Amino acid sequence: MAEARAAACQPPAQARQPLWVAGQAVGSVAAGVLDEINLQRLSGQRYQLLNQERSEGRVWHLDVAPDAATSALNLLASVLRTQGRCGPWRNEQLAVCNARGERLGTVERGAVRVLGIATRAVHLVGLAPDGRMWVQQRARTKPNNPGMWDTLMGGMVSADDTLDQALARETWEEAGLVLPALQAVGQGVTWGGQVDFSRPSREGGGVGYMVERIDWFRCTVPEGMEPRNQDGEVERFALWSPAQVRERIATGDFTLEAALVLGACCGI
């Protein structure tokens, strides 16, 4: 667990410059990445991508009106994709917020790591009545961590979701379980805590940086109710004892995110 916690909090692999949008800081980019951008793609669109000197040093500034932030960010994401500087394209929008958590716009999920934009995720730890834990093996077709083991459910909070909505949607899509049924068992679905990540990412050819906060929850899955995947992103589910979970964390079979969430849940 000490190694996992250290791996979750690492400095960037290369120098990065702050990224500003509409006059506010939202992320960061590796040195040289935006130098490669064909800025003509942004001309005539009311958008300017500038490298400016500020009190904290040089920053990249997507200088647009606030109501144009989303369209400008997605055009930038499209250009990054064309130049091979983007993660897997998901056709999913994630919120882009300033340091105070205020939303400025949205951007394609595939660009957030390259642009160092902070993201939110949810995980659900599912316990059987006898104390064993439901875990899932990720589909081998997943773009990230294929075939590794994970919590009962883990997913991103999209731009259209509140935290509760993301929890409900992802629980159904990944595990085929509905929250009202889980709320009616034991202590219901309860918030367990948060896990923060800041670490280099392989996306965009190794120029990404992951900044993410995971809110994790726990619940009891009643006897006779079994998770069934709905979206094709899970290979299979298994029911393991806490000792088995600890052993598989130690052997590196779980994703880093799941290891930290399960470790927090187990008190290790």
What are 82-109's pLDDT values in tens digits?
889 999 999 999 999 999 999 999 999 9
Tokens 């400016």 belong to which residue? 52
Tokens 């990720």 belong to which residue? 138
Pick the more confident residue, 144 or 76.
Answer: 76
Pick the more confident residue, 256 or 268.
Answer: 256
Sequence letter at residue 86: C
d(CA 94, CA 80): 16
The residue length of the chain stands at 268
Pairing of strands 133-138, 93-97: unpaired
**pLDDT number for residue 149:** 98
**For 180-215, how does the pLDDT look when each residue is reduced to its tens digit (9 = 90+)?**
999 988 789 999 999 999 999 999 999 999 999 999
Tokens 């900044």 belong to which residue? 211
**pLDDT number for residue 42:** 62
Farthest-apart Cα atoms in the chain, separation: 63
Pairing of strands 16-21, 57-63: parallel
139: confidence class by pLDDT, cuts 50, 70, 90: very high
Q: Which two tokens stand for residue 249?
A: 């964390």
d(CA 235, CA 141): 9
Look at residue 9 and tell me whether its pLDDT is greater than 70.
yes
Look at residue 38 and tell me whether its pLDDT is greater than 60.
no
**pLDDT number for residue 45:** 61
For the chain, domains (ranges, CATH) are 11-111 (3.30.750.160), 119-266 (3.90.79.10)
**pLDDT number for residue 236:** 97
Average pLDDT over residues 232-252: 95
Pick the more confident residue, 226 or 185.
Answer: 226
Q: Cβ-count burial of 178 within 10 angstroms (0-12 exposed, 13-18 middle, 19+ buried)?
A: exposed
Look at residue 35 and tell me whether its pLDDT is greater than 90.
no
Look at residue 44 and tell me whether its pLDDT is greater than 70.
no
